[in-house]
């Protein structure tokens, strides 16, 4: 196919590369990457630093998002107040899920947490009185819009004359990423973090030294739930609506792809992996590929498989982290 | 100190004592609970209604069982529950769709092709993915994530080709027949009959043939089976043939049973199938069968009490309850934790 | 006793000479196999007691039951007066009965120093609430713990390896680390599972010296499982012998050495004549599926 090879990339590739120069695309990717990073900071705490395989993170994300949406839109609760409420509810569910299932073996725990996330999604779909089912909830972001416009105003006045509409969200998301990463990083260095790492290494050794491994795992899950809820709230703001399909367990699988790609037990890895997977995730949308949703998940699935087969430690991790079977 | 006294259990709270009862006679407890529920429903809703729903439940349970038995058989090979198993069902269903609806061949051909193609898929994946990973000594987390990646690839490849619109197999959804004095949809009855027949066949095979015994030994403990001289690589292949083939069949049957489907259907079923496997005791094929039937019946009975939109949640509730009271399932051994 | 150096063990209720650990008809079965079949024993406070027996006698299973890692199926046990069967492992460790494992559990991806500091008790920083409400106490305790850890490591000649990953240590060094780490918990009693296995005689001698010193200076009681008869006969005060899940003999090394039952148990296991020899007996089949 030599004709049209030069100067007509559309024809050869079947899709357009123009998106890659579009600021809107990169802002979008940046927002998704930030949300995914927050999502994965929770997963990293669980998998990378405590050794528990939490597959229910999307459920906590949904709880955070839906709490904000429902309280703002239906109960007229001030937006900023809904944030700590959503976090508190997610923590409560984290404890609720963890209590019966954290004593179980890793793959049973994984199943239990997926079941939880599916149950959340099903409830969102079917409890129409509460969640509007598949129609979703709109309009809860008006207060955020005000905040966003204020930030835009500052930017226009100081740095940039025409920021993309999503840019304020981008800033807030990544500011949160920084705060959370620093917080978790320092938490890791405390005696509490030391016990967590010991539990990851060898739970029985930790117990033989007087540490209540179960309680620590529960705390890890609860913190991760809170972080997941924050990610969910940002996702809700970026989409401007909440519907069940955006909070399906599949999102957790995307999270794991990003987590593994970046490398377990590595903080730079979390962000790097998230950026990489976000590009893969958003690209089909902008490249005008047909059936973009399918393509994006096929790619992510392939990435997971290939990573596991050939480089389980990801970009920044060490091989031993992964290969040691449970 | 008194000799032989179970001093550790003297002040057990109610949950602990329930657990002890469940520990000693799990099957009886499960049947007892089921019996109580059925009795309560018969009293409140009437015998025929309950019997109708139980019959439906047996059909659903048969489909679950076809998936669960396969899933538990490969458990020993993969050392984990295969997250892609649900998408094998979807694969089989869509294969049948192509043959029966697009090419308009008889449904029997479609079923045959569904089972064959899914079995082939299972074999290919074993040769290309699972076998090499096992040989390399891959860890649990690696297998889990690989099976998830595989699930995504299969599901979305199907979605890429077939789209997300809801489809149906060309089967009659409205004809109702009488069976043992009860009304049941004709298609549902056919599903029930095929499902039960295949399950009986599989059950006999597993119990009485040499291959069946080897497959069960393998799914229970791969290393032990190897150590006892079984040619594991062949048995592994046969196990995949059966597990995948059954999954393909289950996919077609659920398509007939439910009437309509989309590419998500297999994954949606994965959780009830998991629940059945856990309920029956992971690695135990007969347990999976029993667990699946129990689950199917409970699910259908639940629609008498709650709206049918929520019936999938029954699977989760049962799963969580089972995990709390008896994680090794009704027939499992304590080692499973 | 307690203005002693940082490594002092905690005071016990039982003075030397009384029993600190009592077990009465402890039972543990797995499906049909009774690994521990009514084991009763007493360990005297301040003693160095060896637990021996042929393979499969149930010694490690017994350890696992009384330290809470396995749920018991019968019997009772108490540590320093507190009943312990049915308690979780971490609670029992907090009571002062600390165990090591047959296969050393050095926390490989953590540094030697972290391994040690982890074990120290009474660090409010190990709890989220403590981190928030008592940051200064946390920092102060960290400094104390660090000093204690280095001092203890010094005593075991491991101080220079403090910053290395525990996974890089040799087998013998890991055994020492596990012992040192257990000592950081300020235990009243140490249960050692085959402490001499796989380490060279010099290192083994050093370990035994440490044990004697700890017993003498700090009053720590030792119960250890061992197969090395030289160690058992020459370095322990009392010897308890298990076979087929039960205690069959209990006395000084000399008494045990000439006890006929003990000789039978070992010979039976070696000849392989009557099937199980010194191993666990199968139980009558319980209702339900076997296989």
How does DSSP assign B172-222, residue by residue?
-SS-EEEETTEEEEHHHHHHHHHHHHHHHHHHHHHHHSHHHHHHHHHHH-H
pLDDT higher for C254 or C8?
C254
**pLDDT value of position C13:** 53
Q: Three-state SS for C223?
A: strand
Number of A to C CB contacts under 8 A, please give it.
Answer: 82
**Residues C73-127 pLDDT 10s:** 889 999 988 999 889 999 999 999 999 998 888 888 899 999 999 999 989 999 9
What's the whole-number average pLDDT of chain C?
83
**pLDDT value of position A33:** 93
pLDDT at B234 over 90: no
Sequence length of chain C is 291
Taking the Cβ of residue B333 and every Cβ of chain C, the question of whether any pair is shorter than 8 Å is answered with: yes
Give residues with Cβ within 8 angstroms of A101, minimum separation 6: A108, A109, A112, A113, B320, B323
Query: Nearest-CA distance from B39 to chain C in Å?
Result: 26
Could you give phi then psi for residue A72, rounded to 5 degrees? -70, -50
User: Contact C85/B8, CB-based, under 8 Å?
Assistant: yes
What CA–CA distance (Å, rounded) separates B21 from B43?
Answer: 27
**pLDDT value of position C286:** 41
**Residues C125-137 pLDDT 10s:** 999 999 999 999 9
Lowest-pLDDT range, B20-24, B287-291, C193-197? B20-24
What CA–CA distance (Å, rounded) separates A303 from A256?
Answer: 11
**pLDDT value of position A318:** 66
Q: Are strands A241-242 and C74-79 parallel, antiparallel or unpaired?
A: unpaired
What CA–CA distance (Å, rounded) separates A181 from A191?
Answer: 18
| Residue carrying structure tokens 């637990």 | C51
pLDDT higher for C14 or A317?
A317
**pLDDT value of position A226:** 97
CB C8 within 8 A of CB C151: no
What CA–CA distance (Å, rounded) separates B22 from B1?
Answer: 28
Buried-state track A11-29, b at ≥16 Cβ within 10 A, e below 16? eeeebeeebeeeeebbbbb
User: Contact A208/C105, CB-based, under 8 Å?
Assistant: yes
| Residue carrying structure tokens 């590929």 | A289
What CA–CA distance (Å, rounded) separates A184 from A157?
Answer: 34
What CA–CA distance (Å, rounded) separates B120 from B127?
Answer: 11
Domain that holds residue A304: 9-321
**pLDDT value of position C181:** 93
pLDDT at B273 over 80: yes
CB A187 within 8 A of CB A50: no
Hey, what are B85's tokens? 């198993």
Buried-state track C34-63, b at ≥16 Cβ within 10 A, e below 16? bbbbbbbbbbbbbbbbbbbbbebbbbbbbb
Is residue B310 very low, low, confident or very high in pLDDT (cuts 50, 70, 90)? Answer: confident
The residues with which C224 forms a beta bridge, in sequence order, are C50, C192
Residues of B in contact with C287 (CB under 8 A): 24-25
Mean pLDDT value across residues C144-173: 90
Query: Nearest-CA distance from C87 to chain B in Å?
Result: 8
Q: How many domains does chain A divide into?
A: 1
What CA–CA distance (Å, rounded) separates B284 from B302?
Answer: 26
CB B151 within 8 A of CB B86: yes
**Residues C260-290 pLDDT 10s:** 888 888 876 555 444 444 455 544 444 333 3
Answer yes or no: is A281 within a domain: yes
Give the chain A residue nearest C92 (alpha carbons): A210
Query: Nearest-CA distance from C279 to chain B in Å?
Result: 20
Residues of B in contact with A129 (CB under 8 A): none
The interface residues of chain A toward chain C in range 198-217, judged by CB-CB distance below 8 A, are 198, 201-202, 204-213
CB atoms inside a 10 Å sphere around CB B30: 21
Answer yes or no: is A3 within a domain: no
Complex ipTM = 0.83
Answer yes or no: is A200 within a domain: yes
- Selected for mutation to probe chain A from B94, B145, B269 (highest A CB count within 10 Å) is B145
Q: Three-state SS for C17?
A: coil
Query: Nearest-CA distance from A200 to chain B in Å?
Result: 13
The pTM (predicted TM-score) of the whole model is: 0.84
DSSP letter string over C138-190? HHHHHHHHHHHHHHHHHHTT-GGGTTSBGGGS-HHHHHHHHHHHHHHT--SEE
- Give the single-character DSSP code of C111: B
Answer yes or no: is A265 within a domain: yes
Hey, what are C225's tokens? 């499982």
Closest CA to B337 of A109, A203, A323: A109
**Residues B92-116 pLDDT 10s:** 999 999 888 888 888 888 889 999 9
Interhelix angle A23-43/A57-75, rounded to 10 degrees, is 110
Cα B313 to Cα A60, A119, B31, B88, B317: the distances in Å are: 18, 7, 21, 22, 6
**pLDDT value of position B308:** 75
**pLDDT value of position C4:** 39
Spans in chain A with pLDDT lower than 70: 1-21, 160-163, 286-290, 318-326
- Report CA Rg, chain A: 21
Residues of C in contact with B5 (CB under 8 A): 74-76
Residues of B in contact with C86 (CB under 8 A): 7-9
What CA–CA distance (Å, rounded) separates A307 from A310?
Answer: 5
pLDDT over 90 percentage in chain C: 41
Mean pLDDT value across residues B231-249: 87
What's the whole-number average pLDDT of chain B?
80
User: Contact B3/C25, CB-based, under 8 Å?
Assistant: yes
Answer yes or no: is A2 within a domain: no
User: Contact C126/A211, CB-based, under 8 Å?
Assistant: yes
User: Contact B145/A260, CB-based, under 8 Å?
Assistant: yes
**Residues B149-194 pLDDT 10s:** 999 999 999 998 888 888 887 777 777 777 777 777 777 788 888 8
Answer yes or no: is A56 within a domain: yes
pLDDT at C55 over 50: yes
pLDDT higher for C282 or C203?
C203
Query: Nearest-CA distance from C275 to chain A in Å?
Result: 33
HEC assignment per residue over A133-182: HHHCEECCCHHHHHHHHHHHHHHHHHCCCCCCCCHHHHHHHHHHHHHHHH
pLDDT at B302 over 60: yes
**pLDDT value of position B19:** 61
H helical segments located in chain B: 14-24, 26-45, 47-78, 85-97, 107-125, 131-135, 140-162, 186-208, 210-220, 222-227, 232-258, 265-280, 285-302, 311-325
pLDDT higher for B266 or B46?
B266
Answer yes or no: is A326 within a domain: no
pLDDT over 90 percentage in chain B: 16
**pLDDT value of position C139:** 93
What CA–CA distance (Å, rounded) separates B119 from B244?
Answer: 5
pLDDT at B224 over 80: no
Taking the Cβ of residue C32 and every Cβ of chain B, the question of whether any pair is shorter than 8 Å is answered with: no
What CA–CA distance (Å, rounded) separates B291 from B297?
Answer: 10
Cα A189 to Cα A44, A264, C86: the distances in Å are: 15, 17, 34
**pLDDT value of position B288:** 86
């Amino acid at each position: 196919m030599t004709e049209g090879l030069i100067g007509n990339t559309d024809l050869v590739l079947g899709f357009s590369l123009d998106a890659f120069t579009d600021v809107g695309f990169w802002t979008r990717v940046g927002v998704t990457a930030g949300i995914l990073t927050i999502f994965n900071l929770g997963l990293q705490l669980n998998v990378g630093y405590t050794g528990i395989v939490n597959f229910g993170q999307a459920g906590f994300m949904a709880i955070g998002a839906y709490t904000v949406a429902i309280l703002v839109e239906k109960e007229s609760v001030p937006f900023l107040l809904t944030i700590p409420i959503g976090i508190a509810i997610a923590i409560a569910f984290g404890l609720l899920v963890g209590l019966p299932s954290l004593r179980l073996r890793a793959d049973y725990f994984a199943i239990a947490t997926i079941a939880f996330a599916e149950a959340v999604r099903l409830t969102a779909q079917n409890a129409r009185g509460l969640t509007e089912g598949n129609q979703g909830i709109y309009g809860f972001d008006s207060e955020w819009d005000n905040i966003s416009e204020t930030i835009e105003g500052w930017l226009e006045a100081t740095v940039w004359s025409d920021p993309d509409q999503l840019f304020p969200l981008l800033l807030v998301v990544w500011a949160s990423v920084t705060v959370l990463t620093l917080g978790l990083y320092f938490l890791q260095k405390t005696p509490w973090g030391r016990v967590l790492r010991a539990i990851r290494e060898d739970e029985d050794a930790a117990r033989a030294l007087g540490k209540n491994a179960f309680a620590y795992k529960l705390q890890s899950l609860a913190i991760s739930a809170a972080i997941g809820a924050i990610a969910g709230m940002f996702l809700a703001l970026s989409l401007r609506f909440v519907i069940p399909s955006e909070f399906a367990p599949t999102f957790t699988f995307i999270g794991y792809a990003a987590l593994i790609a970046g490398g377990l037990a590595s903080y730079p890895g979390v962000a790097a992996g998230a950026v990489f997977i976000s590009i893969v995730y958003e690209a089909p949308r902008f490249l005008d590929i047909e059936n973009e949703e399918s393509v994006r998940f096929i790619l992510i699935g392939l990435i997971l498989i290939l990573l596991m087969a050939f480089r389980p430690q990801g970009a920044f991790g060490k091989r031993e982290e992964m290969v040691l079977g449970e | 100190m008194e000799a032989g006294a179970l001093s550790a259990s003297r002040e057990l709270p109610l949950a602990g004592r329930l657990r002890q009862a469940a520990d000693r006679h799990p099957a009886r407890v499960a049947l007892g609970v089921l019996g109580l529920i059925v009795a309560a429903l018969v009293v409140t809703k009437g015998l025929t209604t309950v019997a109708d729903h139980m019959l439906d439940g047996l059909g659903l349970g048969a489909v679950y069982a076809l998936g669960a038995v396969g899933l538990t058989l490969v458990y020993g090979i993969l050392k984990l529950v295969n997250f892609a198993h649900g998408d094998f069902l979807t694969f089989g269903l869509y294969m049948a769709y192509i043959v029966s609806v697009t090419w308009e061949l008889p449904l029997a051909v479609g079923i045959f092709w569904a089972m064959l193609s899914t079995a082939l898929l299972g074999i290919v994946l074993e040769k290309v993915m699972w076998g090499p990973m096992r040989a390399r000594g891959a860890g649990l987390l690696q297998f889990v994530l690989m099976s998830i990646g595989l699930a995504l690839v299969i599901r979305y490849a199907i979605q890429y080709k077939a789209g997300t619109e809801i489809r149906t197999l060309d089967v009659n959804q409205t004809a109702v027949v009488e069976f043992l004095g009860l009304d049941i949809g004709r298609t549902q009855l056919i599903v029930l009959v095929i499902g039960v027949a295949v399950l009986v066949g599989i059950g006999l095979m597993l119990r009485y043939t040499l291959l069946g015994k080897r497959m069960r030994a393998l799914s229970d403990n791969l290393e032990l089976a190897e150590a006892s001289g079984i040619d594991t690589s062949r048995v592994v292949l046969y196990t995949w043939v059966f597990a995948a083939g059954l999954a393909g069949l289950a996919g077609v049957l659920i398509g007939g049973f439910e009437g309509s489907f989309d590419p998500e259907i297999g994954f949606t079923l994965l959780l009830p199938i998991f629940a059945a496997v856990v309920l029956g005791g992971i690695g135990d094929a007969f347990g999976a069968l029993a667990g699946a039937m129990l689950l199917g019946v409970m699910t259908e009975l639940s629609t008498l009490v709650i709206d049918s939109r929520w019936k999938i949640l029954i699977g989760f509730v049962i799963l969580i309850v089972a995990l709390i009271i008896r994680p090794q399932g009704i027939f499992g051994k304590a080692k499973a934790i | 006793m307690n203005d002693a150096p940082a490594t002092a063990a905690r005071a016990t209720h039982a003075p030397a000479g009384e029993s600190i650990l009592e077990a009465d008809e402890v039972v543990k079965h797995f499906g049909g196999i009774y690994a521990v079949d009514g084991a009763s024993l007493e360990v005297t406070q301040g003693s160095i007691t060896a637990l021996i027996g042929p393979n499969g006698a149930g010694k490690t299973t017994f350890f696992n039951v009384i330290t809470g890692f396995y749920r018991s199926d019968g019997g009772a046990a108490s540590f320093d007066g507190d009943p312990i069967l049915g308690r979780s492992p971490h609670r029992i460790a907090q009571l002062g009965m600390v165990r090591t494992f047959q296969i050393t559990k050095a926390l490989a991806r953590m540094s030697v120093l972290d391994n040690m500091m982890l074990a120290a008790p009474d660090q409010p920083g190990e709890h989220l609430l403590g981190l928030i409400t008592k940051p200064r106490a946390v920092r102060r305790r960290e400094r104390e713990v660090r000093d204690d850890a280095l001092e203890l490591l010094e005593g075991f000649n491991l101080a220079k390896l403090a910053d290395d990953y525990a996974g890089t240590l040799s087998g013998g060094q890991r055994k020492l680390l596990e012992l040192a780490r257990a000592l950081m918990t300020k235990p009243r009693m140490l249960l050692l599972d085959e402490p001499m296995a796989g380490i060279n005689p010099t290192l083994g001698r050093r370990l035994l010296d440490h044990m004697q010193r700890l017993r003498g200076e700090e009053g720590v009681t030792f119960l250890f499982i061992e197969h090395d008869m030289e160690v058992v006969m020459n370095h322990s005060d009392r010897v308890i012998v298990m076979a087929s899940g039960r205690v069959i003999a209990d006395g000084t090394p000399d008494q045990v050495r000439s006890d006929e039952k003990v000789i039978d148990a070992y010979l039976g296991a070696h000849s392989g004549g009557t099937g199980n020899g010194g191993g666990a007996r199968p139980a009558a089949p319980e209702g339900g599926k076997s296989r």
